[in-house]
Chain A
Amino acid sequence: MAEKLIEVIVETMDGEAASVKANVENKVEHLMQRAAKELGIEGDIKLFDLMFEGKRLDPDAKIETTGIQQGSRVRLERRPKVG
């Protein structure tokens, strides 16, 4: 069966962006891991949030249930440390 691949633009906190391919049947966490690798981001992916249209995506949700489509822009955000 053919993979349902889409290409998503992933932005970092500092405005860098990369195009990342993802299978919509995979979990959001998988997209986060691929994006981190593509953008050279190190660290535990569980310390990051993936934001889409102002909302945090559940890492365990399937990409196809989130509304992300071909060409969508998402943001990979490291959860900030606060004082």
Chain B
Amino acid sequence: MHPLATERFLAAHLERMASRAQELQWQIDHRGVVAIVRMVHRPSSEIFRLVLLAEEYPLLPVGVEFLPIPDAQPMAKWPSDGNFVFRTASPRPFVCLSGVRSFTPDPTESVLAMGVDEIHVGAVLTNLDKAIHSDRYQGPVFVPLQ
């Protein structure tokens, strides 16, 4: 897929999320096939920054990484939900959620594991916001530099 086509799909899909971004206090900075998203855990005002890597989107789901913060180990500050959506106990934390590149589907349902509507970047952001605001949310994981 041509990168310009990917870029336009991503731009159009993010544009469709403008009202939700305002409602849920997301800030989205989109450049090329990359978007930086700032999300807030609204009850605590905790801020998370994500980088979305959208090569080959929407044919392939987006990659999602939480950005590290200064004075912390790379990938150190993550939302924690008991290792449900945010796998923080693995050597390299990752998001395990349908619609995200690092999602590992159940082999028994791999054909149906990721619907087109789940791959949509808006669905991904909505689900991430939902995960941060679920009852499982346990606050940020923070590992300072040694």
Please give the residue numbers on chain A whose beta carbons come within 8 Å of chain B beta carbons, in ascending order: 11-16, 41, 54, 75, 77-78, 80-83
- Majority secondary structure, B binding face: loop
Q: How far is the CB of A38 from chain B (nearest CB, A)?
A: 15
The listed residue with most B CB atoms (<10 A of its CB), out of A11, A16, A78, A80, is A80
- Residues on the A chain within 8 Å of B61, using CB: none
Residue from B120, B131, B133 within 8 A of A13 (CB atoms): B120
- Asked whether any CB of chain A lies closer than 8 Å to the CB of B142, the reply is no
Distance (Å) between the CB of A69 and the closest chain B CB?
Answer: 17
- Please tell me if the beta carbons of A13 and B122 are within 8 angstroms of each other in the complex: yes
The answer for the CA separation of A23 and B105 in the assembled complex, in Å, is 39
Whole-angstrom distance from the CB of B138 to the nearest CB of chain A? 15
B interface, CB within 8 angstroms of A: 13, 16-17, 19-20, 84-85, 87, 96-99, 102-106, 113, 115, 117-118, 120, 122-123, 126-127, 130-131, 133
CB distance from A65 to the nearest CB of B (A): 23
CB neighbours (8 Å) of B85 from chain A are 80, 82-83
Chain A interface secondary structure, helix, strand, loop or mixed?
loop
Measured CB to CB, the closest approach of chain B to A54, in angstroms, equals 8
Of the candidates B87, B113, B130, which one forms a contact with A77 in the assembled complex, judged by CB atoms under 8 Å apart? B130
- Return B93 CB to nearest CB of chain A, in Å: 12
CB pair B122 A80 closer than 8 Å: no
A15 to B17, Cβ gap below 8 A? yes
Q: Chain A: which residue is nearest B114 at the CB level?
A: A81
Complex interface: chain A residues within 8 A of B97 (CB): 80-83
A residues near B131, Cβ cutoff 8 Å: 80
**Contact (Cβ within 8 A) A78 B118:** yes
